[in-house]
Amino acid sequence: IAGITQAPTSQILAAGRRMTLRCTQDMRHNAMYWYRQDLGLGLRLIHYSNTAGTTGKGEVPDGYSVSRANTDDFPLTLASAVPSQTSVYFCASSDGLWSGYTFGSGTRLTVV
Amino acid sequence: GNSVTQMEGPVTLSEEAFLTINCTYTATGYPSLFWYVQYPGEGLQLLLKATKADDKGSNKGFEATYRKETTSFHLEKGSVQVSDSAVYFCALSPFDGSSNTGKLIFGQGTTLQVKP
């Protein structure tokens, strides 16, 4: 089934630990995005990539890094997790200007 | 800057009632507008979209018209069902005619609860 796969589904992480959230798409979309969803704040863009080999910062990039070595994969890394990074993280991809996004099912991360 | 404002929820309706969820936006240039729906425990799904002024997006009985004069994109449905209970997000994709990052800017979401 074509779409976006995120892993893990959920994770409890000790503060200060490093964590990589995985995102893989099989639609050959050029653009990929990472959002975090927090109650009352909607979705906020963390990082994005318009094409393989390029990345950019979104609205809330601090404490996160990404890489885009190929078209399909777009991992998000928390170098040293803090409790304020407790959130639901969504990966998304897009094939063009007008088409909107395809979203993954999300990763629920709790930092304690 | 670009932003999206949605009516606060939760919105609670009885089955078969008429639904309106208000969405207004601030944007430079000519944005595309979207409505996404998120069912419990799932990711967001595209519900409908409109790419230019006066366009009407529609899907699954939901409609929204791109009103540039009022900078609005209100979501409507004539008769809601229990299965429509979800969180609805209005979003815009900025475009100034010469460049676009492809990024979506979301409103805060509106929770809809439909009771039998």
Residue range A34-51, pLDDT digits in tens = 999 998 888 999 999 999
A5 reaches B (C-beta below 8 A): no
Say which of B36, B45, B108 has its CB closest to residue A41: B108
Closest CA to B60 of B46, B44, B74, B41: B46
pLDDT value for B103 = 78
Give the residues of chain A that fall short of pLDDT 70. Answer: 1, 97-98
The answer for B 35-74 residues in CB contact with A (under 8 A) is 36, 42-46, 49, 51
pLDDT value for B97 = 60
Confidence of residue B80 (pLDDT cuts 50, 70, 90): very high
Confidence of residue B4 (pLDDT cuts 50, 70, 90): very high
Cα of B110 vs its chain's centroid, Å = 9
pLDDT value for A61 = 97
**Contact assessment for residue A101 and residue A4, using Cβ atoms and an 8 Å cutoff:** no
B103 reaches A (C-beta below 8 A): yes
* Cis peptide leading into residue B10 (ω within 30°): yes
By CB atoms closer than 10 A (0-12, 13-18, 19+), residue A76 is buried
Q: Which of A83-87, B40-44, B98-102, B106-110 has the highest mean pLDDT?
A: A83-87
pLDDT value for B74 = 98
Segment B22-43 shows an average pLDDT of: 91
Q: Count Cβ atoms below 10 Å from residue A15 Cβ, excluding itself.
A: 12
pLDDT value for B95 = 74
- The rounded mean pLDDT for chain B is 91
| A93: Cβ contacts below 8 Å, ≥ 6 apart | A4, A25, A27, A29, A31, A32, A33, A74, A101, A102
Confidence of residue B29 (pLDDT cuts 50, 70, 90): confident
Least confident of A83-87, A88-92, B62-66, B93-97: B93-97
pLDDT value for B38 = 94
What residues in A contact B93, CB-CB < 8 Å? 97-98, 100
A9 reaches B (C-beta below 8 A): no
By CB atoms closer than 10 A (0-12, 13-18, 19+), residue B102 is buried
Percent of chain A surpassing pLDDT 90: 86
Radius of gyration of chain B (CA): 14
* B64-71: long-range contacts, CB 8 A cutoff, minimum separation 24: B64/B23, B64/B33, B64/B35, B66/B33, B70/B24, B71/B24, B71/B25, B71/B26, B71/B27
B30 reaches A (C-beta below 8 A): no
Q: Is the pLDDT of residue B115 over 60?
A: yes
For residues A111 and B1, what is the distance between their CA atoms, to the nearest angstrom?
Answer: 32
Closest CA to B39 of B8, B60, B67, B69: B60
pLDDT value for A98 = 66
